[in-house]
Every structure is written in C-alpha cells, then in structure tokens.
Amino acid sequence: MIASRSRLMRQGLIFAAAVLAATAVVAAYPDRPIKLIVPFSPGGGTDSIARTLATGMSQSLGGTVIVDNKPGAGTIIGTDAVAKSVPDGYSLLVATFAHAVNPSLVPKLPFDTDKAFAPVVMVARGPNVLVVRSESPLKSVKDLLELAKAQPGKLTYASQGNGTSAHLAGEMFENMAQVKITHIPYRGAGPAMTDLLGGQVDMMFATAAAVGPHIASGKLRALAVTTAERSPVMKTVPAIAESVQGYAVESWYGLFVPAGTPADVIAKLNAAAKQATQTPEFRRKLEPEGLVVFTGSPQELDAYVKREEVRWRKIVKENNIKPD
C-alpha cells in the first residue's frame, strides 16, 4: 500500500515537472529566429505579403521572424521542408491555393497533407479577376456565355500552367456554365499576360495583382471577379456568380506548422499573425492583391482547406487535369 502510494507520488511529481518544463518552454518561445517558409521565388505577391507579415509578427512575438524562400515543384519543395521540420514552432508554411489542390493534382506527394500539418490561422482571402483586352467585343460575362455557346472552343483563356488557380478557375467556369473554352497553359504568369495583352489569347482568370495596373491603364477590362460575391476592393466589378449561380474561386493565404507543434505555441503564433494583419502597412500591401484580411481560429482554417480539397478534387478528376 505504501509502495503504491510512493509510486503514485513519483508519477505525480514527474507529471508536474513535465508540465512545468513545457510551460517554461512556451513562456520562453521564441528564443531563436522563426522561419516563415514561402514556397515561391522572391519578389512575387506571396513573398511580398509574407515579408510584411513577418515584420508584424516579429514585433508582436518579441523575436525575429525571417522569410525563407523555397520555390519549386508547384510549392511542393517548400511545403515538404515544413512537413519534415521539427514541430517546435520555428518553421511555418505560408500556404496558398496550391495547398488544397496538390493532394488531388499530384499522385505521389512526399507528405500527407491532412496528417503532416497543423493549422495556425487564415491570413487573407480574395478573388481572381476575369479579364479581356480593352478592345475585346466581350463586355460582360453574359456576352462571353453567349459566344461560347454559339461557338464552342473558339474562345481561349490563358493560365500560368496546368493546375494553377487561373487554370482551375477556367475549368470550374466551363463545368458550371456548361460551355467549352480552350485552355492555353504557359510557363508562368508573365508569358501568359504578354500573350493576353498581345491578342494571342482572349481572356484570363488572373490575380488582381497581375491585372491591376493593366486595368488602371485601360489595356484590360475586368468582366468579373471569381469570388461568390463582389469584392470590397473592386465594388463596381460584378461577380461571375451573378451570371453562373454557385460559382466561387478564391485566392487565399494561411499559415501552417508541422503536426505535433504544441497547442500553446500555435496559439501564440495565431495571436501574433492576427495582430500583424491589423497594421496599416499590411493592409496597404493587400490592396494591390485585391485581398481582404480574413483571420480566425486554427480550426476554421482547417475546415476551410478541407472544403477546398473536396471541391478541387472533383474538378481535377472530372476534367482529367494533370500537372505540367
């Protein structure tokens, strides 16, 4: 009986020591630089937003958050680096649209998306923009639908590659509107935009950042945004859903850490990211992207991405989409 009590006391002391040690670790966090891994090259929209976010999070956490660019393989290289990192809160992934699409697009990922990561927070969401040249006879989505139905396959749309947001936005449009538009994939957004401006293709479901300057200069016309409702940033531009009921495609940015990262650390990162998104600098950075701050709990990000995975798996399968 006495031995049993002694054993229970020892177990209780061990448990208490473990709790105190974990509390001390979390209280000291961060005690070294945190890597914010961006699975894209420096200089793009994701990189720009990540650097502004890193500055704000550094101030909130009282530590250093640095951006580490790991581009390649449609975001898989950078994403895999986080999946294989120690789950201690010092490696974060800036995830985008590709995070929800790659599980159905790429047959053999080097990680299990549903098991390798823990959600931290959604950062922002926003539309792609359906654009045509200013001299195009297409003045509205209605015009596009009428011509596409009258001459199936004649109209063309550009994208920065198979499986990208611009491509899948077009595939979903074709499926839901029951029309045929010919997809022309390019190796990057730059060449796609060049041919759109040059008249080699008719339209593009492009990011707001890519087309904003061309819309402002009058070279391109915005027919619609891809979000379910009109964008607060582009209030005069209708949503495709006003002509094609139920249509919705979003660009988004969210933060993930490796699975197994302590919940208290995730809570700290969630709070720091939320605080960083409220700064005037961060909101100014979002404007050219057509994005709106949209934060919440880790569970809300997890649910959102799981819904996106289901939606895009259907589109990828129905249209037999393969990566470049």
Quote the pLDDT of residue 15: 46
Cα distances (Å, whole numbers) of residue 128 to 91, 110, 118, 226, 240: 29, 29, 27, 5, 11
Beta strands in 17-84 (DSSP E): 34-38, 65-69
Overall number of domains in the chain: 2
Per residue in 160-183, pLDDT tens?
Answer: 888 899 999 999 999 999 999 999
Quote the pLDDT of residue 43: 83
Q: Is 3 a member of any domain?
A: no
115 and 140 assigned to the same domain: no
CATH number at residue 182: 3.40.190.10
Q: Is 201 a member of any domain?
A: yes
Quote the pLDDT of residue 20: 43
Q: Is 323 a member of any domain?
A: no
Q: Which residue bears the tokens 């047959």?
A: 107
160 and 111 assigned to the same domain: no
119 and 265 assigned to the same domain: yes
The whole domain housing 201 covers: 127-242
Give the three-class secondary structure for 314. Answer: helix
Per residue in 99-115, pLDDT tens?
Answer: 999 999 998 999 999 99
Report the C-alpha gap between 90 and 93 in whole angstroms.
Answer: 10
Q: Output the average pLDDT for the chain.
A: 91
Quote the pLDDT of residue 24: 47
Angle of CA points 44, 272, 31, to nearest 5°: 100
Cis amide bond preceding 30, omega within 30: yes
Residues in the chain with pLDDT < 50?
A: 15-25
Q: Is 2 a member of any domain?
A: no
